[in-house]
Structure 1
Amino acid sequence: MNRKIILFIILFPFILGLIFSGCKKEEETYKKVRLNVKETEENSPAAKPQKKPLRIAIAPVISPKESFNVYSDLIEYISKKVGRLPVFIQGSNYAEINNLVRYRHCDVAFVCDYAYLQGKKDFGMEILVVPQVNGKAKYQSYIIVPEKSTIKSFWELEGKSFAFADPLSSSGYLYPKYLLKKNGKTPETFFSKTIFTYGHDNSIEAVSQGLVDGAAVDSLVYDFMVANKKTYRVNAKIVHKSPFWASPPIVIHPAINPETRSMLKNVFLSMHEDKEGKLILRRLMIDRFVAQKDKAYDSIRKMANEIGY
């Protein structure tokens, strides 16, 4: 693939102090822009002025640098198939990605399941497709601790430090909060200290380095990192798994052009039938993309309602 991907990173100052030292160098790697800056391709030799770029936003399930490394081929593939220049937009938290979709600053977004439900409620956000992994379009929350820790269950983390991923993350925040509420506890009273890492890989890294005693993370991210040992070092173990939920969706604005919606959906749904697409999916540990209905997320709705979200 030889077309250049235009990359936009939107970082809020207060986030920077929360990201671990290993992620601080990412500021130097990518250009920061404001949301009201117009995305143009004038400086790109591959630009086609007569066509709008395809702006794809990725929620910070993993840190900005890793998001680009992991998703760049997929973004370029999808853009090429619809005949538009790829623009990769990386936000700093889930709420920010929702706003990018809401105010039409992106065309497609990869979001968390609860972030989708919030977007659905706020402005009618719609599901385009979802990833299927190991034969199912489902995932879990893992509660993890350092590999050498003597902790064997979630409840043994009482009085310990704990990392959450994002306030809109089902696997990285809602689920552990739900577990605690069911037992008459809160994060504030149960843990000695909590932090938000704004990236599941950051949470895994925090546990692996012993910066916190435990964390709640996305099973898809954890399994991906464990399977790619040459790239990631995961010194952690799982002490609790949630029930399965519908996979985090790829979403669009409800007012997207119907032709664009249809074209994008067809590209995603047929990607596994294409040699190049199949290779990219294999690298991402995704079988294929499939259609999904809103009701598949009712269990997340119920969990959110029970904790007052």
Structure 2
Amino acid sequence: MLRYRAELDADITLASGGSLRARGLLVDVPHAEVSHPEIAACAVAGLGLRDVARVELDQVRIFAEEAAPGAGRSPGRIEYVELSHVIEAGMTTYPGMPVPVITAHRTWEQSRPYYAEGTEFSIDRIEMVGQTGTYLDSPRHRYPDGADLAGLPLGRLADLPAVVVRTVGTGRRVIDAEDLEPYVVAGHAVLLHTGQDRHWATPEYGTDAPFLTEAGAKLLADRGAALVGIDSFNIDDATPAGPRPAHSVLLAAGIPIVEHLTNLGELPPLGARFTATPPRIVAFGTFPVRAFATMPYFEPHDHTRSAGWLPTTGPWS
């Protein structure tokens, strides 16, 4: 049985700063006609890197060799990554918005008369606005005639291939079109990793928070992004009484927005799949979601190091 490998030189730039240089690196690749972006993604996976901004390849050579019995990678399990903040009574998501109130509608003790001896249940009540915790905006949030939560197709919300765009560590607030230009985004959940979630539940969270520009939103809409998420205070520059161009552009194009994500640093640039599904509520525009990512974990069967995720294509040369 043949397996395909690439021998290459690579210069890898890390989103958090610094770079790596590899010479004569050997990488397993899926087939003989593999593209350079696919090779770059495989190289990042093989090195176990997740905080990668760019990969430049040189001296690439593809070759086939006989695989040892049992060599290669086989799927072992699915890894789940939580991307939502926990909702608690009294927490502040957005200053000025009502905080969630969690109470018991009927306690275990109060339920006992309704059931057989030894059987009891609690029924809880929560009062909150849709903009609580990690939440999803449907087009109706911005436009009266836009699709509401019940009108969103599952294909826009569940098991989407994810592209993680990292600006964390750059010191810049703005995520612009030039930051997104290298990425393939059609049909993908585009997740903007700014690192602002480290300030969650503190006054700093809403101070000078990173945001997506109108030009960046237009690029994502024009190129067919399925969903856009951010781990920041707002996808727009949330100045009082200011315009909200990113919301306006994306929601006009039917692209849901997920705000207040967290843990995006746990995801690879490519290879994860993203899900964020709200309840099917008619005439409601925004609601909290349990956002998460899944990544196939591949168990190594030989001396070759195997990363915990499988890449596809990427924004690399």
Provide the TM-score with structure 1 as the length reference.
0.22
Counting strand residues as a fraction of each chain, which structure ranks higher?
2
Counting helix residues as a fraction of each chain, which structure ranks higher?
1
Structure with max Cα Rg: 2
Provide the TM-score with structure 2 as the length reference.
0.22
